[in-house]
Structure 1
Amino acid sequence: MTSAIPEYDLTRKPGCPFDPAPAMHARHAEGPVTRVRLWDGSTPWLVTGHAEHRALLADPRVSVDHSHPGMPRVTQGARPTEAEMAQLMEVLKDRPAPGLSFIMMDDPEHARLRRMVTATFMIKRMEAMRPAVQKIVDEFIDAMLAGPKPVDLVEAFALPVPSLVICELLGVPYDEHDLFQHNSKIIINRASTALQRMQAQLELGDYLDELLAEKLANPGDDLLSTLAERVKSGDLERQEAVSMAVLMLFAGHETTANMIALGTLALLQHPDQLAVLRDTDDPKLIANAVEELLRYLTITHGGLQRVALADIELGGQTIREGDGILVVNETANRDPAVFADPDHLDLHRDARQHATFGHGIHACAGQPLARLELQVVYPALLRRIPTLRLATDLDKIPFKHDGFVYGVYELPVTW
């Protein structure tokens, strides 16, 4: 009976904002593959184990196509009502529906489109950006030090740094950051309706389509110009290029911004670990510390959505063709079978097997850029402001419990 299946509950324990929801731990204690009940009564599989997480995401028998009827809808806003559908049809009249590009496509279309941007995010190319990223970081720290305090680290530093970096990489004017930051917040909020998300994507798409037109006429040395050249050569449809640009702009700043702020807060709450990162100039230790923070915090929380295209045996269970699946990053990252004492933040830990960027063909394409930014941000911030501290109590900090990307809305700090 579905009533006996526990609800999908992401509520975190009070006073433990960095730990996964107790309900997720409880499901994992029952087994690495269990059932969970969503708001609409559907009962997708919940994959919580690390080994099962990797196996499932590498399995070609699962799909990311959100049009599949078995795809789990984790919020009510993900499935429009009849009235909302009518509004959506009216909004989309005489224009194509926007999408988040290849992240919601299966191969071969996924592979075709992903290839268009893979070279941009190669590790060697990202490393070449390190001096430019360092300059951006230092300039924002300079501005913080010269201004009043306390200050909201989110608005003064965590959000603008990756926004400016992705703008320069894409070839988007940073002056328009209010537009894309506002719409990004709508897209990732669990409370947003399907109509609100569609309108936000359309506004971003219209803006980037105008920029693409400029790049078609006057290309530069940026990713948007590269996409424009692909359109000229016939490798990409114009709407495909726009959807890819929306994805890059949205994902390129929102996730990293949350990781900067949440990671800084976690370090402030663990002063012994903060000292490890602040007092070292060893690039390997810094890189290792970033991997551990990515594991410990897991900002992409709540489950990657998949649907089975065939029967799959996993974790002692049989997932049937057409079944919905939620693959949970945060419990995979706290799996004691892989990480000893997983609820402990240890910057010396080898955390390279973490699940934060996903796995398989849909693993995050921009992860080299995210790693670079975090490797620059944390040491610079902690060294240049060695007395950095919270300007409020932990229980007064507003966490993003309502988002698909976890973080904080504000982080008041002083020094």
Structure 2
Amino acid sequence: MAGVVEPEPVGYPATARGCPFDPSPVYREAARAGPVSPVTRWDGSQAWLVTGLAEIRTVLQDNESFSSDPGRPGFPFVSADLREFLTSGAMSFLFMDDPGHARLRGMVAGDFTARRVKAMRPRIERIVAEALDEMVAQGAPADLIASFALVVPSRVICELLGVPYGDRAFFQRQTDIMCSNLSGPEQSGAAMMALSHYMAGIIGQGMHESDDSLLGRLAARVTRGELTTVEATAMSMLLMLAGYETTAGAIGLGVLALLQHPRQLALLKADPALAKGAVEELLRYVGVSQVGSLRVAVADTLVGGTLLAAGQGVICMLPVADRDEELFPDADRLDITRPPGQNLAFSYGVHHCLGAELARAELQIALPALLRRLPALRLAVPADQIRYKYEGDLYGLHELPVAW
């Protein structure tokens, strides 16, 4: 139509950030123009970027019009490496539609209920205390990521799954390679294969031994013919990766955000009862998701006044939506006393993060315990020397040098 100026597509992915806790300025600029914007992906193809909170909820809860299946034409892969990774099925039900998604997710959902996580809290508290003991014994300065942020969720998920914690260096290395956009296809593929073989070995061992761990129960399902070995291995990889990487990122970024907001830090120190709200606010504020929730339209659908045609990729940029001023007034300000709102840190709809309650519990326990044990905690290097994981699919810190 004459006089109508179509918006120029923004580039995707755009991982560079302004303030390290803010979403990419590229995405925020797109959001100012409207809740749905065109994007040009890494391979030159077009897709849609959804940044409005209401519009993202519309997409993520409409499982008839939008698919999570990376095998469908038009699915908006972030990179060639991720395309190979996701189409291999390595992330199991995370990138599946119902009924397959519901079938597989239902087999492990009982291990992550609020009731089950509540029963796990005393063990999480002991893991946190032990990690702090070890870090203090090693002395300052220390890298909070290696000594605490990675240790806590890794130990928790290893115990839950039945994976030897002594193997953590191996699976953390493979995860780092797979989640980095700097890894080439050969590196990513080799890391994925190595982790797959490792998890398949644990599943295979569980098929011959009595084991009440989560992976042991998956192995029993394989023996009974309810799961294939390939399905069980893919599920185990998903649970391992999702079980510690995102939580470790949130712990590291959350601690850094508090150290750089002394008033908020003082509030939490003075009143540990604020921990629950503080965790929700930190999750909203730091935005661990770098690439968003990916979907492909399977039917022509109007979202935010824009027609998303069947076969077009859709990228729901969760951290941008979590800066929505209507739901979170003064959204760019960290405020741990903020009234609770429904942030999208754990996504939305049927693919809402299975481990959300476990991650919340780990953060609610870890942050107050850290500040209680080390009340003089501070950065051991200037803030501008901190290295961020801009290159990853998940945002975080390479290290966080601290003293006390």
Q: TM-score, normalised by structure 2?
A: 0.95
The residue correspondences of 1:234-245 to structure 2 (distance < 5 A) are 234-245=225-236
After superposing the two structures, state which structure 1 stretch, 99-108 or 212-221, moved more: 212-221
Counterpart for residue 139 of structure 1? 130
After superposing the two structures, state which structure 1 stretch, 70-79 or 58-67, moved more: 70-79
Counterpart for residue 93 of structure 1? none
After superposing the two structures, state which structure 1 stretch, 294-303 or 374-383, moved more: 294-303
After superposing the two structures, state which structure 1 stretch, 378-387 or 271-280, moved more: 271-280
Q: Does 2:77 match 1:73?
A: yes
C-alpha displacement at 1:11, in angstroms?
A: 4.5
The residue correspondences of 1:114-133 to structure 2 (distance < 5 A) are 114-133=105-124
After superposing the two structures, state which structure 1 stretch, 103-112 or 207-216, moved more: 207-216
Contact persistence 1:267–1:273 (CA under 8 A) = yes
Counterpart for residue 275 of structure 2? 286
C-alpha displacement at 1:78, in angstroms?
A: 3.5
Q: Does 2:9 match 1:5?
A: yes
The residue correspondences of 1:30-109 to structure 2 (distance < 5 A) are 30-60=33-63, 61-79=65-83, 97=88, 99-109=90-100
Contact persistence 1:9–1:21 (CA under 8 A) = no
User: Deviation string for 1:70-126 (max 9, x for gaps)?
Assistant: 01122343356xxxxxxx9xxxxxxx9552111111111111100011000011100
Contact persistence 2:121–2:361 (CA under 8 A) = yes
Amino acid at match of 2:66: V
Which residue of 375, 380, 386 corresponds with 2:375?
Answer: 386
Q: Percent identity?
A: 45
Q: 1:151 to 1:106 in 2, by over 3 A?
A: same
The residue correspondences of 1:9-408 to structure 2 (distance < 5 A) are 10-14=14-18, 16-60=19-63, 61-79=65-83, 97=88, 99-282=90-273, 285-408=274-397
Question: Structure 2: how far apart are the matches of 1:167 and 1:219?
Answer: 17
Q: For residue 196 of structure 2, give the secondary structure of its aligned residue in structure 1.
A: helix
User: Deviation string for 1:130-178 (max 9, x for gaps)?
Assistant: 1111111111111111222111111111111111110000011101111
After superposing the two structures, state which structure 1 stretch, 379-388 or 139-148, moved more: 139-148
Contact persistence 1:292–1:350 (CA under 8 A) = no
Amino acid at match of 1:70: G
Question: Structure 2: how far apart are the matches of 1:393 and 1:79?
Answer: 38
**Contiguous gaps of at least 5 residues in structure 2:** none
Q: 1:110 to 1:249 in 2, by over 3 A?
A: same
Question: Structure 1: how far apart are the matches of 2:216 and 2:6?
Answer: 51
Contact persistence 2:322–2:344 (CA under 8 A) = yes
Counterpart for residue 84 of structure 1? none
Question: Structure 1: how far apart are the matches of 2:198 and 2:80?
Answer: 28
Q: 1:210 to 1:309 in 2, by over 3 A?
A: same
Counterpart for residue 91 of structure 1? none
Question: Structure 2: how far apart are the matches of 1:405 and 1:269?
Answer: 21
Contact persistence 1:70–1:324 (CA under 8 A) = yes
Q: 1:403 to 1:220 in 2, by over 3 A?
A: same
After superposing the two structures, state which structure 1 stretch, 5-14 or 309-318, moved more: 5-14
Number of aligned residues: 398
C-alpha displacement at 1:243, in angstroms?
A: 0.7
Which residue of 365, 386, 411 corresponds with 2:400?
Answer: 411
Question: Structure 1: how far apart are the matches of 2:58 and 2:140?
Answer: 48
Question: Structure 2: how far apart are the matches of 1:159 and 1:207?
Answer: 20
**Contiguous gaps of at least 5 residues in structure 1:** 81-87, 89-95
Q: TM-score, normalised by structure 1?
A: 0.92
Q: For residue 10 of structure 2, give the secondary structure of its aligned residue in structure 1.
A: coil
Q: For residue 40 of structure 1, give the secondary structure of its aligned residue in structure 2.
A: coil
Q: 1:171 to 1:11 in 2, by over 3 A?
A: closer
